[in-house]
Amino acid sequence: MSGRVLVGVKRVIDYAVKIRVKPDNSSVVTDGVKHSMNPFCEIAVEEAVKLKEKKLIKEVVAVSCGPQQAQETIRTALAMGADRGIHVEVTGKDYETLGPLQVSKIMAALAKKEDAQLVILGKQAIDDDCNQTGQMTAALLDWPQGTFASEVSFDGDKIKVVREIDGGLETIKIKTPAVVTADLRLNTPRYATLPNIMKAKKKKIANVKPADLGVDLTSRLEVVRVDEPPQRQAGVKVETVDDLVGKLKEAGTV
* DSSP class of 251: T
Identify which range of 54-62, 70-78, 106-114, 213-221 contacts another protein by CB under 8 A. Answer: 70-78
Q: Which residues pair with 64 in a beta bridge?
A: 87
| Contact by Cβ (8 Å): 134, 179 | yes
* Category of 170 on φ-ψ map: left (φ > 0), alpha (ψ -120 to 50) or beta: beta
Among 30, 36, 97, 176, binds another protein (CB under 8 A): 36
Residue with Cβ nearer another protein (191 or 235): 191
State in angstroms the smallest separation of the CB of 199 from another protein: 10
Residue with Cβ nearer another protein (114 or 127): 127
Beta strand 11-13 with 4-8 is: unpaired
Q: Give the per-residue contact string, 159-198, with another protein (x = CB under 8 A; - = no).
A: --------------------------------xxxxx-xx
* DSSP class of 27: S
Question: Cα separation of 147 and 163, whole Å?
Answer: 7
State in angstroms the smallest separation of the CB of 76 from another protein: 7
Identify which range of 31-39, 50-58, 125-133, 223-231 contacts another protein by CB under 8 A. Answer: 31-39
CA torsion through residues 136, 80, 77, 200, sign? negative
Binding site for another protein (CB under 8 A): 16, 31-32, 36, 72, 75-76, 79, 191-195, 197-198, 201
